[in-house]
Amino acid sequence: MPSDPGGSRAFAGRAFDPAAIPGKPEALAGVRVLEVATRIFGPATADYLGLFGAEVIKVEMPPRGDLMRYVAPEGFFWKEVSPAFLSLNRNKLHVGLDLHPPEGKELFLRLAKRSDVVVENLRAGTMDGWGVGYLQLRERNRRIVYAANSGFGQWGPYAAGRASYDATAQAVSGFSAVTGFPDQPPMKAGFWVGDYTAALMSATAILAALAARRKTGEGQMIDLSQAEAMIRTLDWTWPYAGMTGKDRVRNGNVDPSYTPSGIYRCRDGFVAVSARDEDEVIPLAHALGATDPEEASIATPERVGAFCASRRVDEVVRIAEDAGFSAAPVRGGKDHYHDPHLRARGTVCSVDDPLYGRVDEYGPAPKLSESPGRVKWSAKPVGWHNERVFGDLLGMTTGEMEALARKKVIGKWADIPGARPPKGSAP
Amino acid sequence: MSGFAAWVREATEPSAAAGKPEALGGIRVLEFCPGHFGGMVAASVLAEFGAEVIKVEPPDGDPLRLVAPEEILVAGTGLPFLSEARNRRFVTLDADDSAGRDVFRRLALSADVIITTEPPERMEAMGCDYLSLREERPGIVYLSLSTFGGFGPDASRPVRDSDILCQALSGAPYIVGEQEREGVPPRPHEAPTRLGNWHGSFVQGLWGAYGVLAALHFRAETGKGQAVDLSGAESLMMFADYNITWMHTGGKARERVGNFDPAVFPYTYIRCRDGYTFIAAYNDEAFDSLMHIIGRPELARDPRFSTPKNRVALENERALLTVLEEWSGGRTADEILVAVEEYTSKRGGPGAAVVTGRVNRPLETLSEEHWRERGCFLRERDPVYGELLLAAPPWKMSGTPARWKSGCRPPGADNRDVYLGLLGMTEEEYRRLAEAGTF
């Protein structure tokens, strides 16, 4: 029982070593996921499962596929693929399959019979209307876990036909109303937080449903609204509204629960200053010039702001470390890309992709010592894995596949940037 | 309502959840996260799916209870703690006292999952670090939450984990907020902007719960437990879009652009008669639809706006925002929604991808019938904490629905239950430890 002092940190260095990951098993090995989704909410859900070893088959409508393929920052495509598409579609098998014709539906049902999970983010009821919704899939496979991701849920007054993106959820949930500065309009988060947050919640519910299935042998339907996911993350907003009848206001860059904790401007950038309780507020007040603990109240946002304004970010961080409060720089993608800490943790990682060569990505956040997550390969063009999935998995012959391709039931990429392989690489 | 929607409603109706089985029934979680919100979230998520969670607080209560925006305290507990304290049992324990450590270790050895936000050195001193628990309980899943994670060059930096630190490091605020203007001193809001809620802590908790579930899945297959190390900064970092892929492929770092977007436009908030509403129509077909909706079909052919690439040039985004607000300024958010739905309902495929939604203040969200009907909010009455309005678990599930079962209780409210019932202490031992101040 007596522990080896410092043993945990030494153990962590060994147990989580990114170099050892390829030789370790994967947590979700043997779980097959069918993704019928576009843009972010559904694809990110499947991506999170794929990072931990699930086999994800991404079903796209040929030849254009997922419309996220055409979302490209400043219109920039690299080797005919958008960097925004790459980061959402790791470790997937890409098939081009049209779910409208009867042969397409049948093929999908055959895939579903051999799968564990379906993730979709079409408008509520679309899959059911096509004859490939949860109720039809369940007929073939009682064990299927079906995650229906949508903006407003599968039922209720707003469910029918109403579309949603990330920022719909940011907007209607109240999230944007509490983000930004009091004298300014509500601020939309500049990243697609309403999608990712809900996608992570969807992936979490899928793992819970798989745990339940282990006991019952039965799958189930999961109905997740991305707006409701965001509502759940608004901490004290709701009890405050219930108790006071008032709206929580935007509070700018100071956290109203931990004043003066917040983000401050320095001479050369921005820093977060954090003081959770007296144990940190008193040292912070000292750093600001207080001479005894009674003066802790001088640690106001104004004083912290003035203190930071005349210093560099690294000075403030060093002062905090010496004094006993907490501080960290505000960092961006360029900082992350070059950060040795994130590289050493595999949080920024390189994958050697057979089609694209080296691609750098954010790796999985949770580090598991025995069955770690990993990025194995990058996104692929529409229908890239048709032969592997329809041939190897379903046992179709080349002739059968060619016949279905002629009828446009299955297909491959359109000859446009975003959908097609890099120049000179197509088979 | 379609037959399918009616079926889903009946199958997932939250008010009927109470009689159904729970996904994580039989999994016991020990939560040791004093003063830490992200740890609470991780435990809450598991608890909403049915895990049995025991929260260990210091004898005088978790310091997070004292965190009280606008100084609102209910029976000594602030609203952040009250909002997240659900589905658990509340025990107190002096973990710095040797008898307390012994009790803690007994609790830990009865658990399937440990969630801790304390530094590894403290857990070692308690004999409850991963390695020493694993010796006696090889199946244990041990989640550690921190700002920088448990290994790597920055792992031993002396910070106490918090939402603002995790947000700052994650890259999120870096791409939220208004740009500075050239040649004039920046105004306070022209800065990287924090997400107003504790999103850093929430996402840390969510990834924590996800890591635990992946580990439990692996344990069910192999019998092996494991350690899970999670940095809160990296948790939210996972949501920072294509930061790394764009740096790698294009050498470009993303910068903040206010309510504009470097990859999709229109995708912004527009001023309307009663506030702001979201409008998006960024693929060509949808953009054409939107230009018809606002009565300016010719703009779909305007060279500034005719391709996705041209639409995301910042000066064109600004010009387009002006055009959109000329139309939206005199209309309410609801009128805009009706106009969009009328047009898109007649148009399928990519042309229907015109998306809107009012930027609600919290009270506006609360007033909408849709959320009420879906059981999205709970009003719970508690003898100690009174009536509380809370967000319900967001997952509606047909087989093993997530659910809210119980709310906050005072520190130590479940001591007897847990120490006598679960650990099998005798009355005498319990009394002795209580009198000694161990709990």
pLDDT tens per residue, range A44-102: 999 999 999 999 999 999 999 999 999 999 999 999 999 999 999 999 999 999 999 99
The minimal CB distance from B189 to the residues A184, A237, A256 is found for A184
Instruction: For B101, list phi and psi in degrees, rounded to 5.
Output: -60, -40
Please give the pLDDT value at position A294: 83
Omega within 30 of 0 (cis) for the link into A62: no
Report whether pLDDT(B292) > 90: yes
DSSP at A371 = S
Spell out which residues of chain A touch residue B248, defining contact as CB-CB under 8 Å.
83, 337, 358-361
**If contacts are CB pairs under 8 Å, which of residues 292-351 in chain A contact chain B?**
320-321, 326-337, 340-342, 344-345, 347-348
* DSSP classification of residue A73: G
Sign of torsion over alpha carbons A157, A163, A166, A171? negative
Q: Do A178 and B362 touch (CB under 8 A)?
A: yes
Retrieve residue B393's tokens.
């678990």
Known catalytic residues of A are 195
| Residue B226: strand pairing partners | B141
Residues of A whose CB is below 8 A from B202: 197, 233, 235
Chain A interface includes B295 (CB < 8 A): no
Nearest-neighbour CA in chain A from B72: distance (Å): 9
User: In this structure, are residues B167 and A272 in contact, taking their beta carbons and an 8 Å threshold?
Assistant: yes
pLDDT digits (tens, 9 = 90+) for B171-210: 999 999 999 999 999 999 999 999 999 999 999 999 999 9
Sheet holding A326-329, edge to edge: A262-265, A270-274, A326-329
CA distance B49 to chain A (A): 7
The reported pLDDT for the residue numbered A293 is: 78
pLDDT at B419: 98
Select the residue from A21, A71, A281 to test the B interface by mutation, using most B Cβ atoms within 10 A: A71
Query: Measured between alpha carbons, how far is residue B297 from residues A70, A279, B270, B285, B292 in Å?
Result: 22, 62, 19, 12, 5
B 9-68 near A (Cβ less than 8 A): 9, 11-12, 21-25, 35, 37, 45, 49, 63, 66-68
CB contact under 8 A, B220 and A203: no
Q: Which two tokens stand for residue B357?
A: 């939604």
ipTM of the complex: 0.98
pTM over 0.95? The answer is: yes
CA distances from residue A138 to A108, A117, A120, A205, B3 in whole angstroms, order as listed: 13, 11, 15, 18, 16
Look at residue A3 in the predicted model and tell me its pLDDT: 66
pLDDT in tens, B315-370: 999 999 999 999 999 999 999 999 999 999 998 889 999 999 999 999 999 999 99
pLDDT score recorded for residue A426 = 61
User: Which residue out of B195, B325, B343 would a mutagenesis test of the A interface target, given it has the greatest number of A Cβ atoms within 10 Å?
Assistant: B195
CB-nearest to A274 from B7, B150, B162 is B162
Out of B1, B229, B263, name the one closest to residue A71 (CB): B263
pLDDT band at B2 (very low <50, low <70, confident <90, very high): confident
Mean pLDDT across chain B: 97
Considering only CB atoms, A154 lies closest to which of B8, B198, B271, namely B8
Contacts of A52 in chain B (CB under 8 A): 214
- pLDDT, one tens digit per residue, over B74-130 is 999 999 999 999 999 999 999 999 999 999 999 999 999 999 999 999 999 999 999
A46 touches chain B (CB under 8 A): no
Angle, nearest 10°, between helix axes B284-293 and B333-344? 120
How far away is chain B from the Cα of A422, in angstroms, using its nearest Cα? 13
Q: Which helix (H) or strand (E) holds B90?
A: strand B88-92
pLDDT means per 10 residues, chain A with 427 residues, are 77 97 98 98 98 98 97 97 98 98 98 98 96 97 98 95 93 98 96 98 98 97 98 98 97 97 98 96 95 88 98 98 98 98 98 97 98 98 98 97 98 97 82
Predicted pLDDT at B417: 97
Q: What is the pLDDT of residue A295?
A: 86
What letter does residue B19 receive in the DSSP assignment?
G
DSSP characters for A208-260? Answer: HHHHHHHHHS--EEEEEEHHHHHHHT-TTHHHHHHHHS-PPPP-TTB-TTSTT
Q: Which residue of B has its CA nearest to A368?
A: B228
Minimal CA separation from B218 to chain A, in Å: 5
| pLDDT for A264 | 98
